[in-house]
Amino acid sequence: MRTPIIAGNWKLNKNRAEAEVLAKGVVEAVKDAKGVEVILCPVFTALETVARVVAGTNVKLGAQDVYWEETGAFTGEVSGSLLKDIGCTYVIVAHSERRQFFGETNETANKKVKAVLKNGLTPILCVGETLAEREAGKMEAVVSAHVRHGLVGLSVAELEQIVIAYEPVWAIGTGKTATPQQAQDVHALIRSLLKEIGGETVAAKMRIQYGGSVKPDNVKELMAQPDIDGALVGGASLKADSFAALVKF
Ligand code: PGA
């Protein structure tokens, strides 16, 4: 059985005071939630604040990005060991906004996945096609490349720890959700790729989240799909009540 995983990606929102309020609201609202993993991913500057709030609760801390080197002359970057030091257990890797605006490639995604694993943290590797790619019939090729190249050179034991997030770019922040069937079709494709890469047992264990305008009114149907194991949530994670409603799908 795969434990469902609901993660809030706060993106570039919330200063420390706001993050504290939101994290406290979430902790209170989901304190009785069982059988589901709950993760909050604030901006780097609010990680410590949120780490204090979630300490000793059933809510975990994640970061939105990482750099693959540990230390050195890499101005502006943050390493996996620093994220671990501050209390993170999850790290989002290669979010489509990183791919679109900050030059993230499948190669850098793979380096980051490895760096995250090396520090004993769990990567959430984001994959997904743009609208133009989908309309040009390239969805399968793009998603396959994101998955295959993102996971190059990993052992079965490492693969098992990775979470994949399928986020069609056309559904992110647009209010346009993939239908449960559209999402399920791609999740099934990803699961079959995982089977090719790591074998049946590992593919059955790996969790695949859906992301893209997940809201309290569509989460249930999405989560009912056999290959959807959770949600990576942007907009609806910025309010404690809507995020808690997702956790309690
Ligand atoms: P959204 O963002 O829920 O606002 O569409 C999802 C994401 O980018 O992770």
CB 216 within 8 A of CB 245: yes
User: Is 167 noted as a catalytic residue in this protein?
Assistant: yes
* Whole-model pTM over 0.95: yes
Instruction: Tell me how far apart the alpha carbons of residues 113 and 52 are, in angstroms, rounded to a whole number.
Output: 26
Eight-state DSSP code of residue 46:
G
Per-residue pLDDT of the chain (249 residues; tens, 9 = 90+): 899 999 999 999 999 999 999 999 999 999 999 999 999 999 999 999 999 999 999 999 999 999 999 999 999 999 999 999 999 999 999 999 999 999 999 999 999 999 999 999 999 999 999 999 999 999 999 999 999 999 999 999 999 999 999 999 999 988 888 899 999 999 999 999 999 999 999 999 999 999 999 999 999 999 999 999 999 999 999 999 999 999 999
- Extract the tokens encoding 26: 């979430």
Predicted confidence at residue 175, as pLDDT, reads 82
Residues 166, 112: Cα–Cα separation, whole Å: 17
Mutate to test the pocket of ligand 1, among 97, 102, 167, 177 (most ligand atoms within 8 A of CB): 167
Residue 175 CA to ligand 1 center (angstroms) comes to 9
pLDDT for position 1: 83
Q: Is the CB of 128 under 6 A from ligand 1?
A: no
Distance CA 101, CA 155 (A): 31
- Count Cβ atoms below 10 Å from residue 33 Cβ, excluding itself: 15
Give Cβ neighbours of residue 178 (< 8 Å, ≥ 6 apart).
Answer: 168, 171, 186, 210, 212
Q: Among the atoms of ligand 1, which is closest to the Cα of residue 215?
A: 3
